[in-house]
Every structure is written in structure tokens, then in C-alpha cells.
Amino acid sequence: MTGRQPDGWEHVVHGFGPIYDARSRVLVLGTLPSVKSREANFYYGHPRNRFWQVMAAVFDAPVPQSIEEKKALLLANGVALWDVVGQCDIRRSADSTIRNVVPNDLSPILAAVGIETIYANGAKAAELYRKYLLPVTGIEAVRLPSTSPANAACGTEALVEAWRAVKEN
């Protein structure tokens, strides 16, 4: 749900829930779904975001195409997925413009399954987690390099190498 304002700001409410089940042992947190992800109604929907390509490489699996395939890849490998931000004001998909944050409540996931490690997808997710959720959870998050196309400085091979930590947990 969004409400675009004349100055380009938009109030965005996260439109879909977390992915997890009883096998989930790690939790990967992004910031907030991008415009393309909100249009696709699922995580990492921008065609140039490398999240699904990286996850497939880490777990030696084909790159998932459908939402069901994406969920299956995560759940089969003990990975839960959600975002730090439940709602905020933002310009387009620029994490650098996020303000007026209302964080997601991680307690349902943390209470339901045995999450051993929390990973933040990029610097902004790590920063927002530290500010809003670390005081509540008491669990430090491990920052991984962002899979966003905005992180062009980090090649896909380097991303896969860094993200192997998710598998090795």
C-alpha cells in the first residue's frame, strides 16, 4: 500500500509477510521491498537484483523463477526471509531516502523457530536493524554485501562467496 505525495515522497506499507517454517535456522533481512518487488508482490523482484541468483549459487540449485520456487529454495535450505522496515516514507526504491520508519516485529519468527543467525542484506538493512530491532531482539546481525543493482561495485562472484556464510551457518 502506498500514497505518493507531490514532492516525490511515498508512504509505503510492507505488502507481504515473512517466509519461514519450522526448518528455518537463519533469517535474512532486507530493508523494504523495492518498487519492482512491490509490483511483483514478492521479495527481490527487480530483474537486476542478484538475490535469487546468489541464493541459487550458494545452495547449488537452479535459479528459481516463480514465487513458489523461490519460497521452496529458501525453506529447503533453512532460510527465513523478511525485511527490517514495516512501513516508512521513501522516494522510489532509494534506501538512502528511508525515513519515518516503523520496523517489522520479528518476535513471531523468533518465537516460532530456532533462528541461529540473522543476516542483513546490505549496509542500510544492517544500520536499520541495529537502530530499530537489535534493542528488541538482542541478537547481532551479520552484514552481507547488498545484492541490489545499486551495489554495482560488488560482482556476482564476490557476492556468492560472501553469502556462502548463510549456508555454512
Name which residue leads in pLDDT, 81 or 7. Answer: 81
3-state secondary structure at position 76: helix
Q: In whole angstroms, what is the distance from residue 119 CA to residue 28 CA?
A: 5
Nearest Cα to Cα of residue 103 among 135, 75, 145: 135
- Give the mean pLDDT of 149-161: 90
Give domain status of residue 9, yes or no. Answer: no
pLDDT of residue 1: 47
pLDDT at residue 149 tops 90: no
Per-residue model confidence (pLDDT) at position 11: 92
66 is a domain residue = yes
CB-based contacts of 34, cutoff 8 Å, min separation 6: 45, 46, 49, 93
Q: Distance (Å, rounded) from C-alpha 48 to C-alpha 16?
A: 21
CATH of the domain at 133: 3.40.470.10
Q: What are the pLDDT digits (tens) for 1-46?
A: 455 565 778 999 988 999 999 999 999 999 999 889 989 999 999 8
> Does residue 109 carry a pLDDT above 90?
yes
Percentage of the chain beyond pLDDT 90 is 78
* Residue 107 DSSP class: H
Let me know if residue 8 belongs to a domain. no
In a domain, 162, yes or no: yes
Three cell numbers at 156? 556476482
Average pLDDT, the chain: 93
The model carries a pTM of 0.93
Residue % of the chain over a pLDDT of 70 = 96
Q: Is 111 exposed, middle or buried (0-12, 13-18, 19+ CB in 10 A)?
A: exposed
In tens, the pLDDT along 119-140 reads: 999 999 999 999 999 999 999 9
Query: Is the residue at 77 inside a domain?
Result: yes
Domain for residue 11, yes or no? Answer: no
Q: How many residues does the chain have?
A: 169
Counted domains in the chain: 1
Is 125 domain-assigned? yes
List the domain range (segments joined by +) for residue 67. 18-81+105-168
pLDDT exceeds 70 at position 80: yes
Q: Specify if 146 maps to a domain.
A: yes
CB contact at 8 A, 38 and 85? no
Cell 519492482 -> residue: 36
Task: Please give the span between the terminal C-alpha atoms of the chain, in angstroms, as a whole number.
Answer: 35
